[in-house]
Amino acid sequence: MTDNLTLAEAALWLRLSERALYALARAGRIPAAQVGGKWIFPRASLARWLALQAEPAAGAPLAPPPIVAGSHDPLLDWAVRESGSRLAVLSGGSLAGLEALAEGRAIIAATHVLDPDSGGFNEAAARDALGARPAVGIVWAWRDQGMILPAGNPRRLARVEDLVAGDIRVIGRQPRAGSHVLMVHLLTEAGLRLDQINLLPDPAMAEDEVAAAVAEGRADAGFGILAEAARRGLDFVPLLRERFDLVMGLRSYFEPAFQALLHFAQGEAFRRRAAAMGGYDIGEVGRVAFLL
């Protein structure tokens, strides 16, 4: 048994993808050395590193509960139930999920927060919420975000600017939701303010509540994902393709709960479900999006 492992051998031993292991090595987050342009991983050092991820240090706080907090995503909800991961989902908005992760009330934060300055997703919000805590962002899916409209689009809405007509009722999201951040950004890009649209007084707390408000005639438009519009036979105007990530500490990445979910998300049943829902690109599921 060799004392040093190649990238492929170490990835197989750790049950990581080579891309994930390469990202950890490049960031200096795992024992590795680059020799002659190739990565080498000392087996003994890897074993010690892995043990540290699995075992909390003496006096460390209790491990967070096996909860995925943050943004609501119907594909994630389904996968958590079907994967046998023993995770629980607590939806409450992307920023609330990151706060729960930072405070040890969840093991994973589900987020889709646009950074208007860079045009990227989730890393800036995670850094703001977690500070110096080490964490990793894992791609769950790319999603089609836009306006959810009644079947047939009777008001002929095609752009964000069309929402300023005073008689158009818009169902919003809670301020800490990624969809709210996106809505404010798109309005700003169009030269509009939030107070120029007719928002219903009570925001929707999840993606499916937006679609329900439109389907039931309580709203003429709302911001949400294609999958929820399609599920209710509603019209949809795409506005943005967004990345939905799962953010967690490195130790949590290696826990059986997340590994079970990730393994399920790389299977055929998951691919069929995503295709049937519509509006998902799962080609990068499991990829390391960023390291903090």
Along the 292 residues of the chain, how does pLDDT read in single tens digits? 567 888 888 888 777 777 777 777 776 778 887 776 778 887 777 777 776 665 555 555 557 788 999 998 999 999 999 999 999 988 888 999 999 999 989 999 999 999 988 889 999 999 999 988 889 999 999 999 999 999 999 999 999 999 888 789 999 888 878 888 888 888 888 898 888 989 998 888 888 889 999 999 999 999 999 999 999 999 999 999 999 999 999 889 988 999 999 999 999 999 999 999 999 999 999 999 998 8
Tokens standing for residue 47: 């074993």
**108 contacts: CB under 8 Å, gap ≥ 6:** 67, 68, 69, 70, 87, 101, 246, 247, 248, 252, 258
The DSSP bridge partners found for residue 146 are 224, 238
Q: On the CB side of 21, how many CA atoms lie within 13 Å of its CA?
A: 22
Residue with tokens 């706080």: 61
CB burial of 131-168 (b: ≥16 within 10 Å; e: otherwise) equals eeeebbbbbbbbbbbbbbbbeebeeebeebebbeeeee
Which residues lie closer than 8 Å to 52 by C-beta, 6 or more apart? none
pLDDT of residue 106: 92
207, with CB counted inside 10 A (0-12, 13-18, 19+), is buried
> Could you tell me which of 4, 145, 147, 133 has the C-alpha nearest to residue 61?
133
Query: Which two structure tokens, joined as six digits, stand for 175?
Result: 């301020």
Q: What is the DSSP string of 240-275?
A: EEEEEEEEE-HHHHHSHHHHHHHHHHTSHHHHHHHH
Instruction: Tell me if residue 238 falls in helix, strand or coil.
Output: strand
Q: What's the CA gap between 2 and 159, in Å, rounded?
A: 61
Find the helix packing angle between 7-14 and 18-26, rounded to 10°: 110
| Cα–Cα separations (whole angstroms), residue 93 to 125, 133, 181, 271 | 12, 21, 10, 25
Are residues 292 and 133 in contact, defined by beta-carbon separation less than 8 angstroms? yes
Check residue 53 and give its pLDDT.
64
pLDDT attached to residue 273? 97
The number of residues in the chain equals 292
Helix then strand then coil, in percent of the chain rounded to 5, is 40, 25, 35
The tokens for 108 are 């994973």
Rounded to 5 degrees, what angle do the CA atoms 262, 268, 274 make? 80
pLDDT at position 56 is 54
- The 3-state DSSP class for residue 101 equals helix
User: Given the DSSP bridges, would you call strands 67-70 and 38-42 parallel, antiparallel or unpaired?
Assistant: unpaired
pTM of the predicted model, to two decimals? 0.79
Q: What is the chain's Cα-based Rg? A: 21
Q: Give, rounded to a whole angstrom, the gap between the first and last alpha carbons of the chain.
A: 34
